[in-house]
Amino acid sequence: MKKSPDWNTLYGAVGEELPWCVDEMPSWFAELVDSDWMEPCSALAVGCGLGNYAFYLAERGYTVLCLDRSEEAISLAKQKNSHPSLRFIVESVENLTSLDEQFDLVYDISLLHHLKPSARDDYAFQLSSLLPSGGKLMVCMFSEDEPRFGKNYEFMNPVTDTITYLLEKEELLRIFEPYFVFDKLEKIPFDNYLRYLCLMRKK
């Protein structure tokens, strides 16, 4: 049976040992932060987990609102990554428009592949509503081209014990192109898996 991830139980049981809770930034992220595409600004981290990426950005001049549906993750994030430039909020991406706030940059690292395919269109719309024209969106998620996952675009994630939904390039274009222009859509090695990195600007 397909289950919704119980993120609170996971964070409560495994906490900082969860495989994505890395202290050292992956090279693709450090290089992106150093690139011309990024500059210190007001950002929203969607599905922030422990906020490790946000902390890295805060140390480089960004202000970041860190959002996650898991109270346990946000509690751990506040303990671990407290910084004057970081705020934390427990909220689900289904309610992003309730934020009533605009950002220069919104980023999602490894959340999109946990959303059911039927939730993707609304997610793209809600992300776009938080950005002004020209505002930036960065999304990074598992790609369909990861041979260990097979070719049915769904796999049982042994860490979260739930179905994870792989995305293909055509699907990314379909959900985001109504609102965004792509600056980059490429496969990158990340954490021993092939992922898509999407850099976009709101139309």
Positions in the binding site for ligand SAM (CB under 6 A): 7, 20-21, 47-49, 52, 68-70, 73, 92-93, 109-111, 114
Residue 100 Cβ, how far from ligand SAM at the closest point, in Å? 17
Burial of 123 (0-12, 13-18, 19+ CB in 10 A): buried
Q: Which is nearer to ligand SAM, 12 or 40 (CB)?
A: 12
Residue 167 Cβ, how far from ligand SAM at the closest point, in Å? 14
Residue 31, C-beta contacts closer than 8 angstroms, at least 6 positions apart: none
Q: Which is nearer to ligand SAM, 21 or 138 (CB)?
A: 21
Residue 39 Cβ, how far from ligand SAM at the closest point, in Å? 21
Q: Which is nearer to ligand SAM, 121 or 134 (CB)?
A: 121
Residue 47 Cβ, how far from ligand SAM at the closest point, in Å? 3
CB 199 within 8 A of CB 183: yes
Strand partners, 45: 66, 107
Strand partners, 142: 195
Q: Which is nearer to ligand SAM, 23 or 203 (CB)?
A: 23
Q: Which is nearer to ligand SAM, 69 or 187 (CB)?
A: 69
Nearest to 142 by CA among 121, 127, 125, 163: 163
CB 57 within 8 A of CB 33: yes
Burial of 59 (0-12, 13-18, 19+ CB in 10 A): exposed
Q: Which is nearer to ligand SAM, 138 or 181 (CB)?
A: 138
Residue 133 Cβ, how far from ligand SAM at the closest point, in Å? 25
Helix, strand, coil distribution of the chain in percent, nearest 5: 35, 30, 35
Count Cβ atoms below 10 Å from residue 198 Cβ, excluding itself: 23
Residue 173 Cβ, how far from ligand SAM at the closest point, in Å? 22
